[in-house]
Amino acid sequence: MNIHIKSIVSALAFSLLFYSKSFGLNLFLISIAVVALVSTIGKNRFISWRYSFVYVTTAIFVFLNPTGFTIFVHFMAFMVFVGKSISQKSSVYLSWFVGCINMTAASVANYVQNQDKPEKKESGKISPKLGNRLKGGIVATALLFLFGMLYKNANPVFGNLIAQIDLDFISIPWLFFTFLGYLIFLHLLRPFNAQELVDFDLAQKNELEKPAELTLIGEKKQLESEHTLGSMVFLALNLLLLLFLVTDVIYLLDQTTISNAEYSQAVHQGVYALMFSVVCAIVLILYFFRGNLNFFRGNHRIKIFTYVWIALNVILVVFTAYKNYTYVEALGLTYKRIGVFVYLALTLTGLITAYIKVTEVKNFIYLLRTNMATIFAFLFLSASIPWDRAITGYNLNTIEKPDINYLIGLGESNSEQLYSYAKKNRLETNTADSINDKYKAFVEKQSQKTWQEYTLYQITKTKSNDGSF
């Protein structure tokens, strides 16, 4: 089937599923259609079943828990899937970038690229005869509309005739939306292959190339100077970080006299200190181990100081995680406190990859590839958790005096939990009214959804509450 015909049919389905609709079942259905469509293109395109699974699974996450975060992760997965369908071996960050290029400017990029190439016949291309007819039809329609509007004011009889034609069924926003869908599927079926970027990425190795022995001998004085400088820098930083950790232990042992506000500030300051410390560590490691110092025989001292620096930062991660955990245990979960745990996990990954970079003589590309893939994996795993409901459930069930106002300010998905809690507990009138209003708005919004917008809530709820207590 011709690419343009496939794109038009897909655009009509896209419009049926998404025009004036919120995200839900429609996102899952279109993701299945996209994977099926890409898998039938032919030998010039690849289908990465691993990333197809990730892409479709994120659509299921939206169906289960339609929040801004899950929708964001889904579109991130979509861009990576598009990039992987063009080049399976390219890195995750490049696949995402190629996917973004294709969804925004593939038509323009293909047109510019084809100007410098000899014309050749493609099976998916419209024949010149059919193309001329389509162009003629579009131009003729536009001119008929333009001159019809001009002539109706010049002749009352003609004007009355034109007035009898009811064009209210034509929706300009719908036409624009459908055309947008056509472009999306056209870019999927005929993407811009950024081959130069892909080839450049594939050509980059993860390891540094070992220089010849003569090169090392020639650079011996410079390498000795760098080794001395690096050793002094890492030694000084190690001593400072060690002193900080000792004082942190004293602080943790003496936390009985610390107020919640002071403890909160300590957690946040600890995260800021860790952030600065890790950034410095990565920058210094990249600088001193950027080249031939990795292969210099006398580099044992700087390597030892570097390993100690990484180990001390790992201890700092553990201390900060413990402080954040005790803070959560006392006052409950919030998005900021969850974000601290996620940041600490990513920091730990970064420190591990930095250690591997030094021990196995890796380069910056290795760090970029590994850490970007890790971030993408964390996003995917995080999207599988209904955070609003998880935070609400934890705080209501484990905290003696939960911050109800904070929970009311979360997304709509925790409305039923708060409603149930309000019915079982005596709350202030204003708080109870706020919960009741939120629950009523939630139930009303869910009841107005069409089949395209259905989520797990519509599937599992066969009858609605009256929304009052």
pLDDT the model gives residue 300: 86
352 with 414, same domain: the answer is no
pLDDT the model gives residue 168: 57
Task: Report if residue 469 sits inside a domain.
Answer: no
292 with 350, same domain: the answer is yes
Query: Is the pLDDT confidence value at 121 over 50?
Result: no
306 with 334, same domain: the answer is yes
184 with 222, same domain: the answer is no
Mean pLDDT of 306-311: 91
324 with 447, same domain: the answer is no
Contact yes or no for 350/286 (Cβ under 8 A): no
Q: Which residues contact 162 (CB under 8 A, 6 or more apart)?
A: 148, 151, 152
> Residue 66: which pLDDT band, with cuts at 50, 70 and 90?
very high
The vertex-196 CA angle with 191 and 200, nearest 5°, equals 125
Query: Is the pLDDT confidence value at 1 over 60?
Result: no
Q: How many domains does the chain have?
A: 3
252 with 195, same domain: the answer is no
pLDDT the model gives residue 459: 82
Supply the angle between the helices 172-189 and 25-39 in degrees, to the nearest 10.
Answer: 40
97 with 124, same domain: the answer is yes
Q: Where is the domain boundary, 347, 362, 377?
A: 362
Q: What is the mean pLDDT of the chain?
A: 82
pLDDT the model gives residue 169: 55
pLDDT the model gives residue 45: 66
Least confident of 177-181, 219-223, 438-442: 219-223
Task: Report if residue 386 sits inside a domain.
Answer: no
> Residue 33: which pLDDT band, with cuts at 50, 70 and 90?
very high
Higher pLDDT, 27 or 155: 27
Task: Report if residue 384 sits inside a domain.
Answer: no
Q: Where is the domain boundary, 186, 206, 226?
A: 206
Task: Report if residue 371 sits inside a domain.
Answer: no
Query: Is the pLDDT confidence value at 85 over 50?
Result: yes
Higher pLDDT, 116 or 373: 373
Q: Which residues contact 346 (CB under 8 A, 6 or more apart)?
A: 371, 374, 375, 378
For residues 199-218, b (16+ Cβ closer than 10 Å) or e, as one string? eebeeeebebeeeeeeebee
Beta bridge partners of 207: 362
Higher pLDDT, 309 or 43: 309
Straight-line distance from the first to the last Cα atom of the chain, in angstroms, rounded to the nearest whole number: 58
Q: How far apart are CA 308 and CA 242, in angstroms?
A: 10
> Residue 175: which pLDDT band, with cuts at 50, 70 and 90?
confident
Task: Report if residue 382 sits inside a domain.
Answer: no
pLDDT the model gives residue 257: 57
Query: Phi and psi of 352, rounded to 5°?
Result: -65, -45
192 with 341, same domain: the answer is no
pLDDT the model gives residue 251: 72
Mean pLDDT of 272-287: 80
343 with 398, same domain: the answer is no
Mean pLDDT of 9-17: 91
Identify the domain containing residue 415 by its residue range. Answer: 393-460
The top-scoring range by mean pLDDT among 135-144, 210-219, 244-253, 270-279 is 244-253
120 with 183, same domain: the answer is yes
Task: Report if residue 373 sits inside a domain.
Answer: no
111 with 235, same domain: the answer is no
Q: Where is the domain boundary, 206, 222, 248?
A: 206
334 with 251, same domain: the answer is yes
Closest CA to 62 of 340, 413, 460, 444: 413
Task: Report if residue 379 sits inside a domain.
Answer: no
Convert the pLDDT of each residue in 351-369 to its tens digit.
999 999 999 988 888 989 9
